[in-house]
């Protein structure tokens, strides 16, 4: 009888894992269990917030696409995992037996500053982005100061930078920029750190770009409170400051959702409840459980005065998904071959008129290669990539042969590597 792989989560990580598995083994039974009925291209959520994209442009119903590729879809959330019995229970009461479980639920959002959830809006989900879009429509009629920021423990800073730069562009287009002071307030030790200790000259680039666009910034501080008309932060000495605002977009920090915690402390990291994985993104205790995407526990690249986490970007997640699919298929075939993702990243921060792109390989220092570029055409590359990714999701192949060849030619990157020793923390050298 064919083995049953259950993939929990229908985002970039879950869909990429399910498609890679299908490509590697036509006989596998694959089930995706996901609470949201659609796949959403998260990197375009800031664009959705600004009304530059419609919901339909960047989402696709999973029930329409997965069965076409021989993948079952259950539109429910996973509620609990019994790793000893190999069973997943869903919120609808289904008990699903698995031979392998891939946890790719993405994060639970933690709004750690008082009033943050009530008075600011994130761009982390399509629903939040659309809510922010409505707020912005009112805001344009009666503009005032804006705060964009990140609370302590944030790992995903890119969307905050993007939102600040893109809002600057939108306000300029509407002839409102001179009425809107924008302040970026962050837990990063300096702007451009991005939870990564910086990437090449990212500090200088971000500082220059903020100066060019008249965006004030405060780094190395804790946002403690958000009120309807101000954001309050604290410096390292505990002194508090207030910045007036009419609208704020403050990034929450991420932790693993309850379903991961339900699997016990051998699966869920005790600190952030994310999935404990080794270099090959396999749980060291329950070898038939794997983690992919934002929900995996990757240690910070360095200690910062105010805690920050390491971002898990789209390219890193696609690499995790490919490695995990290979590892599961190798295990089924009784092969000893194991694979670790390279964990390299191409990140493009859209700024409306132009964009700033970084390539780091590997993301976790020491890095062999760092490249960067700020240019008008980078903005078009970002848009083209979005269309390309949506096309991949609709066609059912997230790793077409030409993509790996092209990335290898341009960047010398290879998504996965044979790993001789899977023990060790994710991203550490094999
Ligand atoms: C706003 C934003 C912009 C970003 N922009 C970029 C970018 O430009 N470039 C880049 O490289 N990276 C970017 N990232 C980082 C990363 O690529 C995304 O976060 C990516 O969506 C993560 O994929 P994922 O599959 O891990 O999680 P998600 O995309 O969050 O998907 C998880 C899925 O699991 C489902 N789920 C949740 N809980 C359960 C449960 N209990 N049971 C079943 N299903 C569940 C969710 O509904 C969701 O469908 C961005 C992140 C954010 C938040």
pLDDT tens per residue, range 138-197:
999 999 999 999 999 999 999 999 999 999 999 999 999 999 999 999 999 999 999 999
Give Dmax over CA atoms of the chain in angstroms.
67
Q: Which residue has the CA at smallest separation from atom 26 of ligand 1?
A: 293
Tokens coding 25: 């083994």
CATH 3.50.50.60 is held by the domain 109-253 = yes
pLDDT at 359: 94
pLDDT at 1: 75
Residues of CATH 3.50.50.60 domain(s) within the chain?
109-253
pLDDT at 291: 98
Question: From the CB of residue 301, how many other CB atoms can be counted at a distance below 10 Å?
Answer: 19
Contacts of residue 405, Cβ cutoff 8 Å, sequence gap at least 6: none
Q: Just give the CATH number of 4-106+256-418.
A: 3.50.50.100
**Under-50 pLDDT residues of the chain:** none
Which residue out of 105, 163, 355 has the highest number of ligand 1 atoms within 8 Å of its CB and is therefore the one to mutate?
Answer: 105
CA 157 to ligand 1 center in whole angstroms: 14
Tokens coding 429: 């050298």
Residue linked to tokens 């989560």: 9
Residues flanking ligand 1, CB < 6 Å? 8-14, 33-36, 42-43, 45-46, 77-78, 104-106, 123-124, 156, 158-159, 257, 259, 293-295, 313-315, 317, 347
pLDDT in tens, 308-365: 999 999 999 999 999 999 999 999 999 999 999 999 999 999 999 999 999 999 999 9
Phi-psi category of 273—alpha, beta or left, where left has phi over 0 and alpha has psi -120 to 50? left
- Angle between helix 202-212 and 158-173 (nearest 10): 20
pLDDT at 224: 98
CA 177 to ligand 1 center in whole angstroms: 31
Which residue out of 90, 154, 314 has the highest number of ligand 1 atoms within 8 Å of its CB and is therefore the one to mutate?
Answer: 314
Judge whether 232 and 241 are in contact, CB under 8 Å: yes
| C-alpha to C-alpha distance for 129 and 236, rounded to whole angstroms | 32
Half-sphere exposure of 321 (CA within 13 A, CB side): 31
Residue 270 is given by DSSP the state: T
Q: Which residue has the CA at smallest separation from atom 31 of ligand 1?
A: 11
pTM of the predicted structure, to 2 decimals: 0.97
Residues of CATH 3.50.50.100 domain(s) within the chain?
4-106+256-418
pLDDT at 305: 98
Contacts of residue 39, Cβ cutoff 8 Å, sequence gap at least 6: 10, 11, 15, 59, 60, 62, 65, 393
Dihedral over alpha carbons 51, 53, 58, 61 (to 10 degrees): 70
Name the 3-class secondary structure at 50.
Answer: coil
Q: How far is CA 351 from CA 30, 177, 220, in A?
A: 39, 15, 23
| C-alpha to C-alpha distance for 106 and 87, rounded to whole angstroms | 20
Active-site residues, by number, are 156, 347
């Amino acid at each position: 009888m064919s083995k049953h792989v259950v993939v929990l989560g229908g985002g970039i990580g879950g869909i990429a894992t399910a498609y890679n598995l299908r490509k590697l083994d036509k006989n596998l039974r694959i089930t995706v269990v996901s609470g949201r009925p659609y796949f959403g291209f998260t990197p375009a959520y800031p664009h959705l917030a600004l009304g530059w994209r419609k919901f339909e442009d960047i989402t696709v119903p999973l029930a329409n696409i997965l069965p076409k590729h021989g993948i079952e879809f259950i539109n429910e959330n996973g509620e609990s995992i019994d790793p000893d019995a190999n069973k997943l229970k869903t919120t609808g009461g289904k008990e699903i037996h698995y031979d392998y479980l891939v946890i790719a639920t993405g994060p639970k959002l933690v709004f750690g500053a008082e009033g943050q959830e009530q008075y600011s809006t994130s761009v982390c989900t399509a629903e939040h982005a659309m809510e922010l879009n409505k707020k912005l429509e009112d805001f344009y009629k009666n503009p005032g100061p804006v705060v964009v920021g990140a609370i302590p423990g944030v790992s995903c800073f890119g969307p905050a930078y993007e939102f600040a730069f893109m809002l600057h562009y939108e306000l300029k287009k509407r002839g409102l920029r001179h009425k809107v002071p924008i302040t970026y307030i962050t837990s990063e030790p300096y702007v451009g750190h991005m939870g990564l200790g910086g990437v090449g000259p990212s500090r200088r680039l971000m500082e220059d770009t903020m100066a060019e666009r008249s965006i004030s910034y405060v780094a190395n501080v804790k946002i403690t409170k958000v009120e309807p008309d101000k954001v309050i932060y604290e410096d390292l000495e505990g002194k508090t400051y207030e910045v007036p605002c009419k609208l704020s977009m403050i990034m929450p920090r991420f932790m693993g959702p309850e379903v991961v915690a339900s699997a016990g402390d051998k699966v869920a990291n005790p600190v952030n409840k994310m999935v404990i994985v080794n270099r090959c993104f396999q749980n060291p205790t329950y070898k038939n459980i794997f983690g992919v995407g934002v929900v995996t526990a990757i240690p910070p690249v360095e200690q910062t005065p105010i805690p920050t986490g390491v971002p898990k970007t789209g390219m890193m997640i696609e690499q995790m998904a490919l490695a995990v699919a290979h590892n599961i298929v190798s295990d089924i075939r009784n092969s000893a071959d194991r694979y670790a993702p390279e964990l390299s990243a191409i990140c493009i921060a859209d700024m409306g008129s132009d964009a700033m792109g970084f390539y780091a390989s590997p993301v976790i220092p020491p890095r062999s290669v760092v490249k960067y570029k700020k240019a008008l055409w980078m903005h078009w590359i970002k848009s083209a990539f979005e269309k390309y990714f949506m096309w991949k999701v609709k066609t059912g192949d997230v790793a077409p042969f030409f993509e790996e060849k092209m990335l290898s030619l341009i960047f010398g990157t290879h998504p996965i590597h044979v790993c001789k020793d899977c023990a060790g923390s994710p991203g550490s050298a094999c």
